[in-house]
Protein backbone atom coordinates (compact mmCIF):
# COMPACT_ATOMS: atom_id res chain seq x y z
CA UNK A 1 0.00 0.00 0.00
CA UNK A 2 2.99 2.32 0.48
CA UNK A 3 4.43 1.76 -2.98
CA UNK A 4 1.91 4.09 -4.56
CA UNK A 5 3.47 7.46 -5.31
CA UNK A 6 1.69 10.36 -3.67
CA UNK A 7 1.26 13.79 -5.21
CA UNK A 8 3.46 16.59 -3.82
CA UNK A 9 0.50 17.83 -1.77
CA UNK A 10 -0.19 14.30 -0.55
CA UNK A 11 3.42 13.96 0.55
CA UNK A 12 3.27 17.23 2.42
CA UNK A 13 0.09 16.19 4.21
CA UNK A 14 1.68 12.85 5.10
CA UNK A 15 4.71 14.63 6.58
CA UNK A 16 2.50 16.98 8.63
CA UNK A 17 0.30 14.14 9.86
CA UNK A 18 3.31 12.07 10.89
CA UNK A 19 4.75 15.02 12.81
CA UNK A 20 1.41 15.69 14.54
CA UNK A 21 1.11 12.01 15.44
CA UNK A 22 4.59 12.06 16.97
CA UNK A 23 3.84 15.22 18.95
CA UNK A 24 0.60 13.68 20.24
CA UNK A 25 2.43 10.53 21.36
CA UNK A 26 5.10 12.65 23.01
CA UNK A 27 2.51 14.73 24.86
CA UNK A 28 0.78 11.56 26.05
CA UNK A 29 4.05 9.99 27.17
CA UNK A 30 5.11 13.09 29.10
CA UNK A 31 1.71 13.44 30.77
CA UNK A 32 1.87 9.80 31.90
CA UNK A 33 5.53 9.59 32.89
CA UNK A 34 6.62 13.07 33.98
CA UNK A 35 5.42 12.61 37.55
CA UNK A 36 7.62 9.52 37.90
CA UNK A 37 10.65 10.77 35.95
CA UNK A 38 11.36 14.30 37.15
CA UNK A 39 14.81 13.83 38.61
CA UNK A 40 18.22 12.43 37.77
CA UNK A 41 18.76 9.79 35.14
CA UNK A 42 15.02 9.13 34.76
CA UNK A 43 14.48 12.70 33.54
CA UNK A 44 17.25 12.28 30.95
CA UNK A 45 15.64 9.06 29.74
CA UNK A 46 12.37 10.96 29.35
CA UNK A 47 14.21 13.53 27.21
CA UNK A 48 15.54 10.73 25.00
CA UNK A 49 12.04 9.31 24.61
CA UNK A 50 10.72 12.78 23.80
CA UNK A 51 13.23 13.25 20.96
CA UNK A 52 12.43 9.85 19.51
CA UNK A 53 8.66 10.36 19.63
CA UNK A 54 8.69 13.99 18.45
CA UNK A 55 11.03 13.66 15.47
CA UNK A 56 12.59 10.20 15.07
CA UNK A 57 9.36 8.23 14.80
CA UNK A 58 7.64 10.80 12.52
CA UNK A 59 10.69 10.71 10.23
CA UNK A 60 10.53 6.93 9.91
CA UNK A 61 6.77 7.00 9.33
CA UNK A 62 7.02 9.79 6.76
CA UNK A 63 9.82 7.98 4.93
CA UNK A 64 7.58 4.93 4.80
CA UNK A 65 4.65 6.87 3.34
CA UNK A 66 6.48 9.08 0.82
CA UNK A 67 9.50 6.92 0.01
CA UNK A 68 7.81 5.01 -2.83
CA UNK A 69 8.90 1.66 -1.44
CA UNK A 70 12.53 2.69 -0.87
CA UNK A 71 13.97 1.36 2.43
CA UNK A 72 13.42 4.03 5.07
CA UNK A 73 17.01 4.50 6.21
CA UNK A 74 18.24 4.66 2.62
CA UNK A 75 15.55 7.24 1.82
CA UNK A 76 16.71 9.29 4.82
CA UNK A 77 20.34 9.18 3.65
CA UNK A 78 21.56 7.03 6.52
CA UNK A 79 22.87 3.94 4.73
CA UNK A 80 26.03 5.60 3.42
CA UNK A 81 28.53 7.75 5.26
CA UNK A 82 31.33 10.05 4.06
CA UNK A 83 34.92 9.18 4.86
CA UNK A 84 35.99 9.70 8.52
CA UNK A 85 38.09 12.69 7.47
CA UNK A 86 34.93 14.59 6.50
CA UNK A 87 33.38 13.89 9.90
CA UNK A 88 36.49 15.33 11.54
CA UNK A 89 36.30 18.36 9.27
CA UNK A 90 32.63 18.86 10.20
CA UNK A 91 33.62 18.72 13.88
CA UNK A 92 36.39 21.31 13.33
CA UNK A 93 34.02 23.51 11.30
CA UNK A 94 31.49 23.61 14.15
CA UNK A 95 34.20 24.43 16.69
CA UNK A 96 35.48 27.23 14.48
CA UNK A 97 32.14 29.00 14.06
CA UNK A 98 31.18 28.88 17.75
CA UNK A 99 32.56 32.35 18.64
CA UNK A 100 30.57 33.88 15.77
CA UNK A 101 27.46 31.94 16.81
CA UNK A 102 27.85 33.26 20.37
CA UNK A 103 27.99 36.80 19.02
CA UNK A 104 24.87 36.25 16.89
CA UNK A 105 23.11 34.75 19.93
CA UNK A 106 23.83 37.92 21.87
CA UNK A 107 22.49 40.04 19.03
CA UNK A 108 19.32 37.94 18.95
CA UNK A 109 18.89 38.15 22.73
CA UNK A 110 18.95 41.96 22.59
CA UNK A 111 15.74 42.10 20.57
CA UNK A 112 13.35 44.87 21.45
CA UNK A 113 9.86 45.20 19.99
CA UNK A 114 8.08 48.48 19.22
CA UNK A 115 5.91 49.85 22.04
CA UNK A 116 2.77 48.60 20.34
CA UNK A 117 4.11 45.02 20.54
CA UNK A 118 5.53 45.07 24.06
CA UNK A 119 2.98 42.52 25.25
CA UNK A 120 4.17 40.14 22.52
CA UNK A 121 7.77 40.77 23.54
CA UNK A 122 6.89 39.97 27.15
CA UNK A 123 5.27 36.71 26.04
CA UNK A 124 8.39 35.68 24.13
CA UNK A 125 10.68 36.61 27.03
CA UNK A 126 8.60 34.57 29.47
CA UNK A 127 8.61 31.62 27.09
CA UNK A 128 12.38 31.92 26.70
CA UNK A 129 12.80 32.06 30.47
CA UNK A 130 10.85 28.83 30.89
CA UNK A 131 12.87 27.18 28.12
CA UNK A 132 16.13 28.24 29.77
CA UNK A 133 14.96 26.85 33.11
CA UNK A 134 14.15 23.52 31.45
CA UNK A 135 17.55 23.53 29.74
CA UNK A 136 19.36 24.19 33.02
CA UNK A 137 17.51 21.31 34.65
CA UNK A 138 18.38 19.01 31.78
CA UNK A 139 22.05 20.00 31.85
CA UNK A 140 22.47 19.33 35.56
CA UNK A 141 25.15 16.67 36.18
CA UNK A 142 27.45 16.03 39.13
CA UNK A 143 29.41 13.04 37.85
CA UNK A 144 31.10 11.76 34.72
CA UNK A 145 28.26 9.29 34.27
CA UNK A 146 25.76 12.14 34.40
CA UNK A 147 27.80 14.05 31.82
CA UNK A 148 27.87 11.06 29.47
CA UNK A 149 24.11 10.58 29.89
CA UNK A 150 23.64 14.27 29.07
CA UNK A 151 25.64 13.79 25.88
CA UNK A 152 23.30 10.99 24.86
CA UNK A 153 20.09 12.76 25.91
CA UNK A 154 20.91 16.31 24.83
CA UNK A 155 23.46 15.98 22.04
CA UNK A 156 23.41 12.64 20.26
CA UNK A 157 19.74 11.60 20.37
CA UNK A 158 18.31 15.02 19.39
CA UNK A 159 20.89 15.34 16.62
CA UNK A 160 19.93 11.99 15.11
CA UNK A 161 16.16 12.38 15.47
CA UNK A 162 15.94 16.02 14.39
CA UNK A 163 18.21 15.50 11.39
CA UNK A 164 16.14 12.50 10.34
CA UNK A 165 13.01 14.64 10.21
CA UNK A 166 14.20 18.10 9.17
CA UNK A 167 16.92 17.22 6.70
CA UNK A 168 16.13 13.59 5.84
CA UNK A 169 12.42 14.17 5.26
CA UNK A 170 11.39 17.82 5.16
CA UNK A 171 14.37 19.31 3.33
CA UNK A 172 14.48 16.43 0.88
CA UNK A 173 10.78 16.92 0.14
CA UNK A 174 11.12 20.70 -0.31
CA UNK A 175 14.16 20.28 -2.56
CA UNK A 176 12.14 17.93 -4.76
CA UNK A 177 9.24 20.36 -5.13
CA UNK A 178 10.97 23.75 -5.36
CA UNK A 179 13.02 25.11 -8.25
CA UNK A 180 15.54 26.74 -5.92
CA UNK A 181 17.36 24.22 -3.73
CA UNK A 182 18.85 27.09 -1.76
CA UNK A 183 15.39 28.42 -0.90
CA UNK A 184 14.31 24.91 0.12
CA UNK A 185 17.31 24.56 2.45
CA UNK A 186 16.75 27.99 4.00
CA UNK A 187 13.01 27.39 4.40
CA UNK A 188 13.77 24.14 6.21
CA UNK A 189 16.18 26.05 8.45
CA UNK A 190 13.46 28.60 9.27
CA UNK A 191 11.00 25.85 10.20
CA UNK A 192 13.70 24.05 12.18
CA UNK A 193 14.40 27.20 14.18
CA UNK A 194 10.77 28.21 14.67
CA UNK A 195 9.59 24.81 15.87
CA UNK A 196 11.93 25.01 18.86
CA UNK A 197 9.76 27.86 20.17
CA UNK A 198 12.63 29.90 21.60
CA UNK A 199 12.70 33.43 20.18
CA UNK A 200 16.06 34.35 21.73
CA UNK A 201 17.69 31.52 19.77
CA UNK A 202 15.81 32.06 16.52
CA UNK A 203 18.66 33.56 14.48
CA UNK A 204 21.56 31.32 15.61
CA UNK A 205 19.38 28.23 15.27
CA UNK A 206 18.40 29.32 11.76
CA UNK A 207 22.09 29.66 10.84
CA UNK A 208 22.78 26.24 12.36
CA UNK A 209 19.88 24.77 10.37
CA UNK A 210 21.20 26.28 7.14
CA UNK A 211 24.68 24.86 7.77
CA UNK A 212 23.25 21.43 8.52
CA UNK A 213 21.09 21.64 5.41
CA UNK A 214 24.03 22.41 3.15
CA UNK A 215 26.08 19.64 4.77
CA UNK A 216 23.34 17.17 3.87
CA UNK A 217 22.86 18.65 0.41
CA UNK A 218 26.58 18.57 -0.39
CA UNK A 219 27.26 15.06 0.91
CA UNK A 220 23.98 13.22 0.32
CA UNK A 221 24.57 11.56 3.69
CA UNK A 222 22.62 12.46 6.79
CA UNK A 223 25.51 11.39 9.02
CA UNK A 224 27.56 14.48 8.24
CA UNK A 225 24.82 16.82 9.45
CA UNK A 226 24.19 14.54 12.45
CA UNK A 227 27.85 14.80 13.47
CA UNK A 228 27.79 18.59 13.09
CA UNK A 229 24.50 18.89 15.00
CA UNK A 230 25.72 16.62 17.81
CA UNK A 231 28.97 18.61 18.00
CA UNK A 232 27.06 21.87 18.44
CA UNK A 233 24.95 20.39 21.25
CA UNK A 234 27.88 18.59 22.86
CA UNK A 235 29.87 21.83 23.10
CA UNK A 236 27.12 23.32 25.28
CA UNK A 237 26.86 20.18 27.44
CA UNK A 238 30.65 20.12 27.88
CA UNK A 239 30.93 23.84 28.63
CA UNK A 240 28.35 23.52 31.42
CA UNK A 241 29.93 20.41 32.97
CA UNK A 242 33.63 21.26 32.71
CA UNK A 243 33.57 25.06 32.94
CA UNK A 244 30.32 25.71 34.87
CA UNK A 245 29.00 27.81 32.00
CA UNK A 246 25.65 29.45 32.70
CA UNK A 247 23.27 29.02 29.78
CA UNK A 248 20.97 31.67 31.25
CA UNK A 249 23.59 34.39 30.87
CA UNK A 250 24.09 36.00 27.46
CA UNK A 251 27.23 38.16 27.13
CA UNK A 252 26.57 41.87 26.73
CA UNK A 253 27.30 43.11 23.23
CA UNK A 254 29.96 45.47 24.61
CA UNK A 255 31.97 42.38 25.63
CA UNK A 256 32.59 41.61 21.98
CA UNK A 257 34.67 44.78 21.64
CA UNK A 258 37.32 42.89 23.59
CA UNK A 259 40.29 42.07 21.30
CA UNK A 260 40.10 38.43 22.46
CA UNK A 261 36.54 38.11 21.14
CA UNK A 262 37.34 39.95 17.92
CA UNK A 263 40.36 37.75 17.32
CA UNK A 264 38.57 34.51 18.13
CA UNK A 265 35.66 35.36 15.83
CA UNK A 266 37.99 36.38 12.98
CA UNK A 267 40.26 33.35 13.35
CA UNK A 268 37.30 31.02 13.75
CA UNK A 269 35.61 32.30 10.60
CA UNK A 270 38.89 32.05 8.71
CA UNK A 271 39.30 28.42 9.74
CA UNK A 272 35.63 27.75 8.91
CA UNK A 273 36.12 29.12 5.38
CA UNK A 274 39.19 26.94 4.79
CA UNK A 275 37.57 23.84 6.24
CA UNK A 276 34.29 24.57 4.48
CA UNK A 277 36.01 24.48 1.10
CA UNK A 278 37.02 20.89 1.87
CA UNK A 279 33.57 19.85 3.08
CA UNK A 280 31.02 21.46 0.81
CA UNK A 281 30.55 20.20 -2.71
CA UNK A 282 27.60 19.78 -5.02
CA UNK A 283 25.01 17.05 -4.60
CA UNK A 284 21.75 16.48 -6.42
CA UNK A 285 18.97 14.72 -4.64
CA UNK A 286 17.20 11.79 -6.20
CA UNK A 287 13.59 12.47 -7.01
CA UNK A 288 11.23 11.61 -4.17
Per-residue pLDDT reduced to its tens digit, 163-213: 999 999 999 999 999 999 999 999 999 999 999 888 888 999 999 999 999
Helix/strand number for the chain, H first, E second: 13, 0
What is the pLDDT confidence band of residue 245, given thresholds at 50, 70 and 90? confident
Please report, for residues 9, 92, 171, 224, the alpha-carbon distance to residue 162 in angstroms, rounded to integers and kept in the order given. Answer: 22, 21, 12, 13
Better-scored residue on pLDDT, 231 or 113: 231
The pLDDT, as a whole number, for residue 287 is 42
Measure the CA–CA gap between 163 and 170, rounded to whole angstroms: 10
The pLDDT, as a whole number, for residue 2 is 52
The pLDDT, as a whole number, for residue 113 is 82
The pLDDT, as a whole number, for residue 133 is 86
Measure the CA–CA gap between 149 and 152, rounded to whole angstroms: 5
The pLDDT, as a whole number, for residue 4 is 67
Asked which of 38-52, 221-235, 251-265 is least confident by mean pLDDT, the reply is 251-265
What is the pLDDT confidence band of residue 217, given thresholds at 50, 70 and 90? very high
What is the pLDDT confidence band of residue 285, given thresholds at 50, 70 and 90? very low
Write the secondary structure of 167-234 as one string of H (helix), E (strand) and C (coil). HHHHHHHHHHHCCCHHHHHHHHHHHHHHCCCCHHHHHHHHHHHHHHHHHHHHHCCHHHHHHHHHHHHH
pLDDT, the chain, mean = 90
Instruction: Write the burial class of residue 80 (CB in 10 Å: 0-12 exposed, 13-18 middle, 19+ buried).
Output: exposed
What is the pLDDT confidence band of residue 281, given thresholds at 50, 70 and 90? low
Asked which of 1-5, 194-198, 264-268 is least confident by mean pLDDT, the reply is 1-5
Asked which of 14-23, 69-78, 279-288 is least confident by mean pLDDT, the reply is 279-288
Per-residue pLDDT reduced to its tens digit, 96-154: 999 999 999 988 888 888 888 888 888 888 888 888 888 888 998 889 999 999 999 99
Among 10, 7, 15, 16, CA closest to 75: 15
The pLDDT, as a whole number, for residue 22 is 97
Could you tell me the sign of the dihedral formed by the alpha carbons of 4, 187, 163, 267, in that order?
A: positive
Residue range 5-28: mean pLDDT, rounded: 95
8 A C-beta contact, residue 90 and residue 271? no
Per-residue pLDDT reduced to its tens digit, 18-38: 999 999 999 999 999 988 888
DSSP string for residues in 245-288? --TT----GGGGGSHHHHHHHHHHHHHHHHHHHHH----PPPP-
Amino acid sequence: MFNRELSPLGKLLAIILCLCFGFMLNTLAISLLYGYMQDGAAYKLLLILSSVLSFGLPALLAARFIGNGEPQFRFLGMTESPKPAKHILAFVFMLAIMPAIEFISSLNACYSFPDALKSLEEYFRNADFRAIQATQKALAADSLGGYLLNLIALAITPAICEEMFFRGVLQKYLCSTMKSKHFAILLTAIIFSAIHMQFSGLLPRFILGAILGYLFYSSGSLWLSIVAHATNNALVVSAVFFFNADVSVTPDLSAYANPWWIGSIAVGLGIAVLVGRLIFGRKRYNKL
